[in-house]
Amino acid sequence: MRVHIVTYGCQMNEYDTHLVASELVSLGAQMVNTIEDADFVLVNTCAVRGKPVEKVKSLLGKLKKEKERRGLRIGMMGCLAQLEEGQEIAKRFDVDVLLGPGALTQIEKALAADSKFWDLAFHEELNRVVAPPPAGALSAYVPIIRGCNHRCTYCVVPRTRGGVEVSRPPELILEEIERLKAAGVVEVTLLGQNVNSYGNDRPEYPSFAELLRMVGELGIPRVRFLTSHPVNFTEDIVRAIAETPAITRYIHLPVQSGSDRILRRMAREYRRADYLRRIETIRDYLPDAVLSTDIIVGFPGETEEDFEATLSLYDEVGFDHAYMFIYSARPGTPAAEHFEDLPREVKVERLKRLIEKQKAWSLEKNRAWVGKEVEVLIRGDAKETGFAEGHDRGNHPVLVPGDQAPRPGLYRVRITEASPHLLFGEVTEVLHAPAPREAVA
Ligand code: SF4
């Protein structure tokens, strides 16, 4: 069987694609790079916003035609596969195999039966050590927890990936990272819907702060983590970051809104002042931390005053970067069922204003790096533009002339120029760039 996987959505989905690909390879499948070369195409879907769902539908439309033409088999995995909405889509586009995010290790049974396996209770994958990426990438994801105990009113995740947090056994996390290190990986990202809650479900496990310290001792040069929740981002975590050199000083702390009224409607469980206190703690321990956030613009009921509270919070924190989204009602969520959506033009206009603010702050923050030296992980070969692209320990995208970084690896780079979205620099030292046959990013 020749399999191609198309992945939409977050880092968790990227990891799940790797996991299912490893599973398929061990069943004798051959992974191929294009739909044309495949006889089974698996679509790893995202359901958090309307746009990725539309993309999935459009791809499934094309795949259905291929199926009619040459008997292609179609599979669907990821968050959408777990939802009624996704199951209806699957029917409409004649999908053969459905696999929920909690049933990834069941791919063999699902293929054999051409049936649906979307049981959230499994999470069997958490009890396995997954082989390093076969191509020997320099960067890898390591899930540490699945599911989410929070109930944000706009979010489908508790229904798709489980509404109860399940932590992965620490010995398996450490073993997987050791294997990655032996395979040449220099950066791991610890993943979960809410990594800060790690261990809360198992008193015998370390806390997230303790886990960070344990992972930091393994000798991997860079350790990052995604995603955090302001309620669970406690001082011991900040202290662990400050005292563990391998942990990068990049902190992504989604705020979603600067208005208490909207935060309450979102059921985010904190208020503006609580969030600002967390930021103060971070600044106290980590004055050099790079801060980013997620913001939903135009949540139902958001008034001009509420939106201005978000703008003023942005100024108060001075984020380095933000992922900004227009609110998109997801079927079945409390927000979609109980609140009335705002007109699209209001949401678009507010998003534009927020983007302007973000650009101004990012430019100011990025300019402060000009003249400084940073460590950049170059992920691939130079692009047609002649630049090789990577990211520093603050997660800034950095471009360097391709001839100065001919191979993927870690480079010391002096920043020479900044734009709101990019840093440009010159390589001053090659820190770690394995020969091409040993590593491909
Ligand atoms: S914290 Fe809220 S937004 Fe994040 S996964 Fe949980 S329910 Fe969804």
Does 409 share its domain with 340? no
CB 132 within 8 A of CB 185: yes
Residue 106 domain flag: yes
Distance 228 CA to ligand 1 centre (A): 10
291: its two tokens: 């801060």
If we measure between CA atoms, which residue out of 182, 185, 190, 180 comes closest to residue 212? 190
With a 6 A CB cut-off, is 229 part of the ligand 1 pocket? Answer: yes
In a domain, 241, yes or no: yes
The pair phi, psi for residue 230, each rounded to 5°, is -55, -30
Of 367, 400, 422, which residue sits at a domain end? 367
Q: Which of 346, 367, 388 is the last residue of a domain?
A: 367
Rounded to an integer, what distance in angstroms lies between the CA atom of residue 162 and that of residue 303?
Answer: 32
**What's the whole-number mean pLDDT along residues 65-78?**
93
Of 378, 387, 376, 364, the residue nearest 414 (C-alpha) = 376
Ligand 1 proximity of 196 Cβ (cutoff 6 Å)? no
Whether residue 25 is found in the same domain as residue 104:
yes
Q: Helical H runs in 27-116?
A: 50-70, 79-82, 84-92, 107-113
CATH number at residue 98: 3.40.50.12160
Backbone angles phi, psi at 309, to 5 degrees: -65, -35
CATH number for 386: 2.40.50.140
Structure-token pair, residue 22 = 């490893």
Asked if residue 186 lies in contact with residue 393, where contact means CB atoms within 8 angstroms, the answer is: no
What local confidence, expressed as pLDDT, does residue 441 receive?
A: 42
Residue 383 predicted with pLDDT over 90: no
Ligand 1 site, residue 152, Cβ cutoff 6 A: yes
| Residue 438 belongs to some domain of the structure | no
Residues above pLDDT 90, as percent of the chain: 76
Q: Indicate if 333 and 396 belong to the same structural domain.
A: no
Q: Which has the closest alpha carbon to 268: 307, 309, 296, 287? A: 296
β-sheet bridge partners, residue 295: 256, 324
Minimal-distance CA residue to ligand 1 atom 4: 193
- Nearest CA to 220 out of 170, 179, 172 is that of 179
Q: Amino acid identity of 83?
A: L
Do 301 and 378 belong to one domain? no
Residue 65 CB coordination number (10 Å): 12
pLDDT in tens, 73-131: 999 999 999 888 998 999 999 999 888 887 888 888 888 875 666 555 556 666 777 77
CA-based nearest residue to 81, from 69, 93, 63:
93
Chain centroid offset of residue 422 CA: 20
Same domain for 198 and 333, yes or no, is yes
Answer whether residue 437 shows pLDDT above 60.
no
Same domain, 254 and 348: yes
**Per-residue model confidence as pLDDT tens digits over 282-336:** 999 999 999 999 999 999 999 999 999 999 999 999 999 999 999 999 988 999 9
Same domain, 408 and 273: no
157 lines ligand 1 (CB under 6 A): yes
Judgement on whether residues 378 and 288 belong to the same structural domain of the protein: no
Q: Nearest residue CA, atom 8 of ligand 1?
A: 155
Q: How far apart are CA 438 and CA 283, in angstroms?
A: 40
Q: Return all residues near 394 (Cβ < 8 A) that are at least 6 apart.
A: 248, 249, 250, 290, 320, 374
Q: Which domain holds residue 380?
A: 373-432
pLDDT digits (tens, 9 = 90+) for 390-412: 999 999 999 999 999 988 999 99
**Alpha carbon of 157 to ligand 1 centroid (Å):** 6
Same domain, residue pair 112 and 141: no
Q: Is residue 22 part of a domain?
A: yes
Residue 163 has, within 13 A of its CA and on its CB side, a CA count of 8
Cβ atoms within 10 A of the Cβ of 441, count?
19
Write down which residue in 367, 401, 421 finishes a domain: 367
Q: HSE of 270 in the Cβ direction (CA atoms, 13 Å)? A: 20
193 lines ligand 1 (CB under 6 A): yes
Domain membership of residue 439 (yes or no) is no
* This prediction's pTM: 0.89
Same domain, 297 and 403: no
SS3 62: helix
pLDDT of 440 strictly over 70 = no
Residue 231: φ, ψ to 5°: -65, -35
Domain count, the chain: 3
Q: What are phi and psi of 64, to 5 degrees?
A: -60, -40
Nearest CA to 279 out of 328, 338, 228 is that of 228
Indicate whether 441 belongs to any domain. no
Domain identity same for 169 and 275: yes
Q: Is the CB of 160 under 6 A from ligand 1?
A: no
What sign for the dihedral angle of Cα 238, 243, 247, 248?
positive
Backbone angles phi, psi at 40, to 5 degrees: -140, 120
The answer to whether the beta carbons of residues 45 and 86 sit under 8 Å apart is: yes
> Does residue 148's CB lie within 6 angstroms of at least one atom of ligand 1?
yes
For the chain, how many residues are written?
441
- Whether 228 and 324 share a structural domain: yes
What is the model's pLDDT at position 117? Answer: 61
Backbone angles phi, psi at 176, to 5 degrees: -65, -40
Q: How confident is the model at residue 34 (pLDDT cuts 50, 70, 90)?
A: very high
Give the number of C-alpha atoms closer than 13 A to the C-alpha of residue 258, restricted to the C-beta side: 19
